[in-house]
Chain A
Amino acid sequence: MNRQSGPIVHSRQLNQLVRTIGRLVAIVLSICFLRALCPASKRLPSVFPFPRQASSLSLRASVVVINNNTNKINNSYSKKTSYIDMASTTNDAKAKAAERKKQFLEVWPKLETELVDMMKKHAMPEDATEWFKRVRFLSSVFFSTEMDDLINPLELELQYAVWETQSWHLCR
């Protein structure tokens, strides 16, 4: 009996040991499965004595976190660069508009000169007093002399100078 009972006891103990190990393995596997499903950020600190598996999981999780952060950084960087691009585009547009306005303004003095010349051609007086005196003189000459005598402009200027000195008081 003793010989028979000995191996039976050993086999029972061995069975119990195998069951216990199997339970432990099942528990560990289920925990590992749950850890893999659980988001890294919400995971509790690892207390299980499986450094290799835990470290690989945490490494994977940290890689995910790093990737997420990198994406965030990349996104923010791309946003910043897009803002910078927009700003530089706006600055370019403003600079271009300012340059265009400057070029446009540079045309004005030429047109202004043309318009002033046109007005001068229409005998607009530089000095209205002088212009009025000349008109008075010319009218007096026209009424007092024949048309043939008015051909020489130099003589007319001379007569005007004499007339101006003689009749200065009339123009005041």
Chain B
Amino acid sequence: MNYNTPFGKLNRGISVVDTFEILQGRPLTEEEFFKASVLGWCVELLQAFFLVADDMMDASITRRGQSCWYRVQGVGNIAINDSFMLEASIYHLLKVHFRNEACYSYLLELFLETTLKTEIGQLIDLISAPEDEVDLSKFSLKKCV
């Protein structure tokens, strides 16, 4: 979790806080900043989940200036499960901090929908563009299904 999450540029996470502040039209209170940051970290966890899995699928070497998680000694294929745990962390944080908010179900839907769309995109990426041969004829719903 610590290896994969807080070491990027954090643009996605910080943009959640900035966007919330812009929408509010005023400086955020401490509690508002914290909640917006939790959402931002959820986005970063989602990104970390995708990256850990994607690095394995693409057999990448490095990520964010360090070795990919699956290449760390003693990790290997366990990285698959670790990516799932990163995803589970998102929903745990949402439950802890937003369960009593009216937007909780919308947040859940948003993260689930984003996950689905990203996975579809990843599938298209994997089947249409292997490293040695790019074949866009494989880029179709029929092939995916």
Contacts and interface: CB of A to CB of B under 8 A. Distances in A.
Nearest to A103: B33
A171 interface: no
A103 B37 contact: yes
Interface stretch (A43-51, A77-85, A108-116, A155-163): A108-116
Interface residues on A, range: 10 to 19
A147 interface: no
A108 to B, nearest CB: 5
A104 B17 contact: yes
Contacts of A112: 1-2
B57 interface: no
A100 interface: yes
Given A100-B18, A111-B41, A115-B1, A105 B6 contact: yes
Given A107-B41, A108-B6, A100 B14 contact: yes
B89 A115 contact: yes
Contacts of B13: 104
B38 interface: yes
A3 interface: no
Name the residue in A101, A103, A107 with the highest tally of chain B Cβ atoms < 10 Å from its Cβ: A107
A104 B1 contact: no
A21 interface: no
A65 interface: no
A104 B93 contact: no
A133 to B, nearest CB: 21
A13 B105 CA distance: 116
Q: Which of A111, A114, A115 has the most CB of B within 10 A?
A: A111
